[in-house]
Structure 1
Amino acid sequence: MLYTLMMAVAIALIIEGLIPALFPNKWRAYVLKLANEPVSTIRQIGVFLIVIGAILFWAVN
């Protein structure tokens, strides 16, 4: 179980690192745009991603 969790974290880090590595200018523009969004919008996006992740986790198991 721990091995699987570590592999999932490793894959997530690889995917998260691909965008700034391949498209640094677009990534910077996105981060600047995100920084100007209201906190409530950022929170809604976070909750949405958590729900999608939980559904995918449930579906795989």
Structure 2
Amino acid sequence: MTPEAHLYLHRQRTTELPGAEPESGTAGTATGLRARLGWTLVHVGLRLAVPARPAAALSS
């Protein structure tokens, strides 16, 4: 699942609400950048938290 999936679902459900106003383009860009940066930091943190697996030894 892509990190932006929850944002897509949020936008879809917002448009279905009666009287919902469309989001402005400038606010969505900043929010999208914030979400991508946040998820990138989560992925980096998970890589740092999980112990590295030892490399497979090559034998001839």
The TM-score with structure 1 as length reference comes to 0.46
Q: Which has the higher helix share?
A: 1
Q: Which has the larger radius of gyration?
A: 2
Higher relative contact order (CA 8 A, sep 6+): 2
